[in-house]
Chain A
Amino acid sequence: MIVAENLVKKYKEFAAVDGVSFEVAAGESFGLLGPNGAGKSTTMRMVGAVSTRTAGTLSILGMDPDRRGPEIRSRLGVVPQADNLDTELRVRENLLVYGRYFGLPRAQVARRADELLEFAQLTEKAKSKVDALSGGMKRRLTIARALINDPSILLLDEPTTGVDPQARHILWDRLFRLKEQGTTLLLTTHYMDEAEQLCDRLVVVDKGVIMAEGAPAELIRRYSSREVLEVRFGSDLNAEVAGRIAGMGDRIEVLPDRILIYSENGESELVRIIDAGLRPITSLVRRSSLEDVFLRLTGRTLIE
């Protein structure tokens, strides 16, 4: 569905995207994981045929977006990072009007709008003003709007950023249903849990470059240990203690506020630390996540 090869986007001299390659198959849910400014949104805009590339090749549904933009856009659903709902129109009208932008027949759009309101759990809000909706509802409406043309690919740029945790789970549930129905999803996120929940496969992006590619579990296996022990000794002591526990676990990361010890068995590392006479203020054993993969690959945390 999507094939990108050595995709480059430069603004003046700055390369926002610097030679990115990936492929997304039909029915797949593919993620771009990376911190703010990694080039995720720029990549999304190029895939969405609203931004031309500086170099490289890009094929969306077998077409070049720089040449056949409108044709491609007619088969895409786009959920932008910031809501751009039409606040001068009511909730249902937003769907009707948007459907007409695609040149779809009125009756078809009306039928589809009602289905999508149901899907987005907004049927009761059909006549509400957009500004009266909560943040989560607005996102759901934006997703419903993106589906009005029955798109072959749904592009989601940070779908749950700025949404409260409860609303997030509702959104994930809706997106998971779409995935089950076989919709091809391309999403960006800087939340590792989101990527783990929704992506079959993902690329880790940093500074416009792909650092790694694979399924979430596979990436964790490849770049991290099974478990992670997090210990805190207080910000002054972390660095000093790090020297004394060097060599424990497979690998150690010292962050300003805590030390991470990567190991197959976190509990046994904790026992070794305590046996060495050290007393962490807090300790936590958890499974490795994509956050750890990112840290390993870039030396930085995802959310700074």
Chain B
Amino acid sequence: MTEVDDVRPAPAAARPFGALYAGNARSVMARGWRATRSTNWLVVVSGFFEPIFYLLSMGLGLGALIGTVTTASGQQVPYAAFIAPALLAVAAMNGAIYDSTWNVFFKMQFARLYEGMLSTSLGPLDVALGEISLALLRGGLYATGFMVVMQVLGLNLSWWALLALPAVLLIAFGFASVGMAVTSYLKTFQQMDWVNFVMLPMFLFSATFYPLSVYPQPIQYLIQALPLWHGVELVRGLTTGQVDAGLLWHVLYYLAMILVGLVLTTGRLRALFLD
């Protein structure tokens, strides 16, 4: 009973992975699912309709004036088919960001939900994975609905479009894990506004509504460094059927994003609640 493992506590880095992860992220997801059932469905549904409204107004409305657009690989596609994949990537991003920033911020600062979770046998990685997976699931749900609309409107130009769904999940995963990491550093609502300040221009300028080639070279490099551009190009390549090995770079970008986000989030949750 009085046996003690060691006189000095082990330094944080030497502690086993077991202290971070109990393999029970699903209980965190199940909690989120229960909580969603009791919240306002209107908020959930609005996230689904937003990109569809964009598609209808800009794709069909503006598209009637514009006609066709030349994609990065030189193919001529109808304007609606050009922006639809971009909006799909944006939908995944928005769903993931909403869940991983505002929701997480509230749970961390006000509901002290994670404090409660981390006094059970859950580890910080369980909490991070569970919350991110839930955001992912929601992003995936929106994306599936949007894909159906695209199919109905004839905007999926290739069978490769089927792969857009896993691609969208990858994008959502990337944004959710980085979003949660960033949120874990924020303290006030004012700081939360910075998130919108970054997201809106990224949405508008990441070759979403027109090809990247309209920009001068330096701006092009800047846009290409941002995550949404990679998502847009990846999904656009798939739904328009212009698939080449170059798409793998975009996948790699998101894999890196996921990894960085998870490492930061887990470390940060541990610093905050298991100091």
Q: Measuring CB to CB, which residues of chain A are less than 8 angstroms from any residue of chain B?
A: 1, 3, 23, 48, 50-53, 55, 57-59, 61-64, 66-71, 73-74, 76, 78, 80, 82, 84-90, 93, 97-98, 100-103, 149
A102 to B121, CA, bound (A): 5
A54 to B116, CA, bound (A): 23
What are 6 A-B contacts defined by CB distance under 8 Å? A52-B12, A53-B9, A67-B5, A67-B6, A80-B119, A100-B24
Contact A89 B38 (CB under 8 A): yes
**Nearest residue, chain B, Cβ from A61:** B1
- Residues of A close to B10: CB separation below 8 A: 66-67
Tell me the minimal C-beta distance from B237 to chain A in angstroms.
39
A51 to B10, CA, bound (A): 13
Contact B24 A101 (CB under 8 A): yes
Contact B38 A52 (CB under 8 A): no
Once A69-B19, A88-B39, A97-B27 are accepted as A-B contacts, the answer to whether A3 and B2 lie under 8 Å apart by CB is yes
- Per-residue CB contact flags for chain B residues 253-275 toward chain A (1 = under 8 Å, else 0) read 00000000000000000000111
Tell me the minimal C-beta distance from A208 to chain B in angstroms.
16
A122 to B243, CA, bound (A): 60
In this assembly, does B120 line the interface, its C-beta being within 8 Å of a C-beta of chain A? yes
**Nearest residue, chain B, Cβ from A78:** B119
Interface SS of chain B? loop
A256 to B134, CA, bound (A): 58
Contact B274 A1 (CB under 8 A): no
A78 to B34, CA, bound (A): 23
- Residues of B close to A74: CB separation below 8 A: 120-121
- Residues of B close to A70: CB separation below 8 A: 18-19, 22, 121-123
In this assembly, does B111 line the interface, its C-beta being within 8 Å of a C-beta of chain A? yes
A242 to B9, CA, bound (A): 51
- Known contacts A23-B2, A74-B120; can you find 15 more A-B pairs with CB under 8 A? A50-B274, A52-B275, A62-B3, A64-B9, A66-B15, A67-B6, A67-B9, A69-B123, A70-B18, A70-B22, A88-B38, A98-B116, A98-B120, A102-B120, A102-B121
**Nearest residue, chain B, Cβ from A54:** B9
Q: Measuring CB to CB, which residues of chain B are less than 8 angstroms from any residue of chain A?
A: 1-10, 12, 15-16, 18-19, 22, 24, 27-28, 30-31, 34-35, 38-39, 111-113, 115-123, 273-275
Contact A57 B4 (CB under 8 A): yes
- Residues of B close to A102: CB separation below 8 A: 120-121
Contact A59 B3 (CB under 8 A): yes
The 8 Å CB contact of B6, one of A52, A64, A88, is: A64
Contact B27 A67 (CB under 8 A): no
- Residues of A close to B119: CB separation below 8 A: 48, 50, 73, 76, 78, 80
Once A52-B275, A74-B121, A102-B121 are accepted as A-B contacts, the answer to whether A62 and B34 lie under 8 Å apart by CB is no
- Residues of B close to A61: CB separation below 8 A: 1
- Residues of A close to B12: CB separation below 8 A: 52
Tell me the minimal C-beta distance from B159 to chain A in angstroms.
41
Tell me the minimal C-beta distance from B118 to chain A in angstroms.
6
The 8 Å CB contact of B5, one of A64, A84, A93, A103, is: A64
A85 to B111, CA, bound (A): 8
- Residues of B close to A84: CB separation below 8 A: 111-113, 115-116
- Residues of A close to B27: CB separation below 8 A: 97, 100-101, 103
Contact B4 A3 (CB under 8 A): yes
- Residues of A close to B117: CB separation below 8 A: 101
A52 to B19, CA, bound (A): 12
- Residues of B close to A58: CB separation below 8 A: 4
Once A50-B273, A89-B38 are accepted as A-B contacts, the answer to whether A97 and B121 lie under 8 Å apart by CB is no
- Residues of A close to B1: CB separation below 8 A: 1, 3, 61-62
